[in-house]
Chains A and B, each alone.
Chain A
């Protein structure tokens, strides 16, 4: 199984801040990585697919980059709706695996 390690596990930030989350894969997964946002009581929502592609309808302040084993997810100018938990997910090979999550909280 491909282990995904996300960091940090949580962070506190202010409105307007730039936030960066990293995700490392135990082995090369090319660009087979998605980023999800999850709010309490809701299912995860896809934001970024293929490591760097913005899902339709997702604000452009969200972005992703990386390939191979190291990936980053950035929120530019943090908005109130962005306080949530974020997960990376690899789909290079089965079993598909998620990172442990990064909770973004209000400072």
Chain B
């Protein structure tokens, strides 16, 4: 069974940093590209970042480019999102996702980890 379990969310002040982690199991993590997607309260999902297998290709959404960094550790079967210079508008539920859009035919999301940016 595929499982994606996010951690690392919480309350942070504007301008602060957080590092999210996603522990993957139930599939060959190293063979798949991975994504981070967030959803602000009452809003639709917003795709944030993509990392290919072997980390060869990385993409970011415009709203986080230059502030967030995606990375992965295949030995630990883990995905990360380093978030710097956080703003109030970054407040959202953050999901780790294995998306069908990447072309590998499966679509799985974690349960999400909440991030609140507030003073």
Contact = CB atoms under 8 A, between A and B. Distances in A.
B62 A1 contact: yes
B3 to A, nearest CB: 12
A36 B99 CA distance: 11
Contact of B101 (A34, A38, A43, A100): A34
Contact of B100 (A1, A49, A94, A98): A49
A98 B61 contact: no
A52 interface: no
Q: Pick the 9 closest A-B CB pairs, nearest first.
A: A91-B101, A43-B109, A46-B107, A96-B47, A94-B59, A95-B61, A101-B44, A98-B45, A98-B44
Contacts of B59: 94-95
Interface in A9-40: 32, 34, 36, 38
A87 interface: yes
A44 interface: yes
Interface of B: 44-47, 50, 59-62, 95, 97, 99-102, 107, 109-112
A44 B45 contact: yes
Nearest to B100: A49
B109 A89 contact: no
Given A43-B112, A55-B107, A100 B62 contact: no
A95 B101 contact: no
Contacts of B44: 87, 98-101
A65 interface: no
Contact of B50 (A34, A44, A46, A94): A94
Contacts of A94: 50, 59
A43 B92 CA distance: 13
Interface centre among A32, A94, A96, A100 (most CB of B within 10 A): A96
22 contacts: A1-B62, A32-B101, A34-B100, A36-B45, A43-B97, A43-B109, A43-B110, A43-B112, A44-B45, A55-B100, A55-B107, A87-B44, A91-B99, A95-B47, A95-B60, A95-B61, A95-B62, A96-B50, A96-B99, A98-B44, A98-B45, A98-B47
